[in-house]
Amino acid sequence: MESYIAELNDAQRAPVLQKDGAMIVIAGAGSGKTRVLTYRIAYLMSQGVDAFNILSLTFTNKAAREMKTRIAKIVGNSEAKNLWMGTFHSIFAKILRFEADKLGYPSNFTIYDTQDSQSVIRSIIKDMRLDKDVYKYKQVYSRISSYKNSLITVKAYFQNPELKEADAMAKKPRLGEIYQEYVERCFKAGAMDFDDLLLKTNELLNRFPEVLQKYQNRFRYILVDEYQDTNHSQYLIVKALSDKFQNICVVGDDAQSIYAFRGANINNILNFQKDYENVQMYRLEQNYRSTKNIVNAANSIIEKNKTKLEKVVWTANDEGPKIVVNRLLTDGEEGRFVAGSIFENKMQNQLNNGDFAILYRTNAQSRAIEDALRKKEIPYRIYGGLSFYQRKEIKDVLAYLRLLINPKDEEALKRVINYPARGIGQTTMDKLSIAGNQYGKSIFEIIENIDHLDLKITKSTRTKLDNFVNMIKSFTILAENADAFTVADTVTKKTGLVQELKKDGTPEGIARIENIEELLNGIKDFVEGQKELADANGSLAEFLEDVALATDMDKDTGDDDRVALMTIHLAKGLEFPYVYIVGLEEDLFPSGMSMNTRSELEEERRLFYVALTRAEKQAYLTYTQSRYRWGKLIDAEPSRFIEEVDEQYVDYMIPQDDYKYKPLIDTDIFGDEVDKSKLRQTKPKKGTPPPAHKPSESQLRKLRKLKPASPEPEKARNEIKLEVGNVVEHMRFGKGKVLAISGVGQDKKAEIDFENGGIKNLLLRFAKLKFIS
Ligand SMILES: Nc1ncnc2c1ncn2[C@@H]1O[C@H](COP(=O)(O)OP(=O)(O)OP(=O)(O)O)[C@@H](O)[C@H]1O
Ligand SMILES: [Mg+2]
For residues 302-333, one letter each, b for 16 or more C-beta atoms within 10 angstroms of the residue's C-beta and e for the rest, the string is bbebbbbbebbbbbebeebebbbbbbbbbbbb
pLDDT computed for residue 290 by the predictor = 98
Pairing of strands 84-86, 323-328: unpaired
Judged by average pLDDT, the poorest of 218-227, 375-384, 574-583 is 375-384
Give residue 666's pLDDT band: very low, low, confident or very high (50, 70, 90): very low
pLDDT computed for residue 743 by the predictor = 79
Nearest CA to ligand 1 atom 13: 289
Judged by average pLDDT, the poorest of 249-263, 432-446, 652-666, 736-750 is 652-666
94 pLDDT higher than 60: yes
618 pLDDT higher than 80: yes
Q: Is position 740 annotated in a ligand binding site?
A: no
420 alpha-carbon distance from chain centroid? 35
Does the active-site annotation cover 164?
A: no
Does the active-site annotation cover 285?
A: no
Q: What is the mean pLDDT of residues 2-24?
A: 94
Does the active-site annotation cover 68?
A: no
59 C-alpha to ligand 2 centroid (Å): 9
Q: Where are the alpha helices (DSSP H) in 128-280?
A: 137-149, 154-159, 161-169, 175-188, 194-207, 209-218, 232-242, 267-270, 272-275
Judged by average pLDDT, the poorest of 85-89, 341-345, 389-393, 698-702 is 698-702
Per the residue annotation, which of 60, 87, 110, 256 is the catalytic one? 256
Q: What is the mean pLDDT of residues 542-561?
A: 76
Q: Which amino acids bring their CB within 6 angstroms of ligand 1?
A: 7-9, 12, 27, 29-35, 253, 256, 288-289, 573, 575, 613
The dihedral region occupied by 744, where left means phi > 0, alpha psi between -120 and 50, and beta the remainder, is beta
Say if residues 519 and 550 touch (Cβ distance below 8 Å): no
pLDDT computed for residue 548 by the predictor = 84
- Cα→Cα distances 324→357, 408, 678, 695, Å: 15, 56, 17, 26
| Mean pLDDT, the chain, integer | 87
559 pLDDT higher than 80: no
Q: Is position 31 annotated in a ligand binding site?
A: yes
The rounded distance, in Å, linking the Cα atoms of 358 and 564 is 6
Per the residue annotation, which of 195, 225, 254, 542 is the catalytic one? 225
pLDDT computed for residue 594 by the predictor = 77
The rounded distance, in Å, linking the Cα atoms of 217 and 625 is 59
440 pLDDT higher than 60: yes
Q: Phi and psi (nearest 5°) for 772?
A: -105, -55
Q: What percent of the chain has a predicted confidence (pLDDT) above 90?
A: 61
For residues 276-289, one letter each, b for 16 or more C-beta atoms within 10 angstroms of the residue's C-beta and e for the rest, the string is beebeebbbbbbbb
pTM of the prediction? 0.78
Say if residues 606 and 594 touch (Cβ distance below 8 Å): no
Judged by average pLDDT, the poorest of 2-6, 235-239, 548-552 is 548-552
97 C-alpha to ligand 2 centroid (Å): 29
pLDDT computed for residue 24 by the predictor = 96
pLDDT computed for residue 556 by the predictor = 65
pLDDT computed for residue 89 by the predictor = 92
Q: Which atom of ligand 1 is nearest to the CA of 12?
A: 1
Q: Give the 3-state secondary structure of 214-227.
A: HHHHHCCEEEECCH
289 C-alpha to ligand 1 centroid (Å): 6
Per the residue annotation, which of 402, 414, 606, 614 is the catalytic one? 614
385 pLDDT higher than 70: no
pLDDT tens, residue by residue, 472-530:
999 999 999 899 999 999 999 999 999 988 888 777 888 888 889 888 988 888 888 77
Say if residues 731 and 684 touch (Cβ distance below 8 Å): no
pLDDT computed for residue 558 by the predictor = 64
Residues sharing a CB contact under 8 Å with residue 534, sequence separation 6 or more, in sequence order: 81, 82
771 pLDDT higher than 70: yes
639 C-alpha to ligand 2 centroid (Å): 27
Does the active-site annotation cover 34?
A: yes
Q: What is the mean pLDDT of residues 381-393?
A: 80
pLDDT tens, residue by residue, 705-729:
544 444 443 333 344 578 888 888 8
pLDDT computed for residue 255 by the predictor = 93
Q: What is the DSSP letter of 574?
A: -
Q: What percent of the chain has a predicted confidence (pLDDT) above 70?
A: 87
pLDDT computed for residue 350 by the predictor = 93
Q: Is position 551 annotated in a ligand binding site?
A: no
Q: What is the mean pLDDT of residues 115-123?
A: 93
pLDDT computed for residue 662 by the predictor = 38
Pocket test for ligand 1, best of 34, 69, 355, 574 (most atoms within 8 A of CB): 34
565 C-alpha to ligand 2 centroid (Å): 19
Q: What is the mean pLDDT of residues 42-62?
A: 93
622 pLDDT higher than 90: yes
**CA dihedral defined by 609, 610, 611, 615, rounded to 10 degrees?**
100
Q: Which atom of ligand 1 is nearest to the CA of 35?
A: 18
687 pLDDT higher than 80: no
Give residue 672's pLDDT band: very low, low, confident or very high (50, 70, 90): very low
Q: What is the mean pLDDT of residues 441-448?
A: 94
258 pLDDT higher than 80: yes
32 C-alpha to ligand 2 centroid (Å): 7
Give the number of whichever ligand sits closest to the CA of residue 577: 1
Does the active-site annotation cover 226?
A: yes
Q: What is the mean pLDDT of residues 90-115?
A: 93
Beta bridge partners of 280: 23
Say if residues 213 and 240 touch (Cβ distance below 8 Å): no
Q: What residues flank ion ligand 2 with Cβ within 5 A? A: 33-34, 573
701 pLDDT higher than 80: no
Q: Output the CA torsion sign for 271, 276, 277, 279.
A: negative
Pocket test for ligand 1, best of 289, 295, 579, 617 (most atoms within 8 A of CB): 289
Residues sharing a CB contact under 8 Å with residue 77, sequence separation 6 or more, in sequence order: none
Give residue 553's pLDDT band: very low, low, confident or very high (50, 70, 90): low
Give residue 658's pLDDT band: very low, low, confident or very high (50, 70, 90): very low
Say if residues 45 and 37 touch (Cβ distance below 8 Å): no
pLDDT computed for residue 454 by the predictor = 85
pLDDT tens, residue by residue, 309-326:
888 899 999 999 999 999
Q: What is the mean pLDDT of residues 410-431?
A: 94
Q: Which atom of ligand 1 is nearest to the CA of 8?
A: 1
∠ CA 284-288-290, rounded to 5°: 120
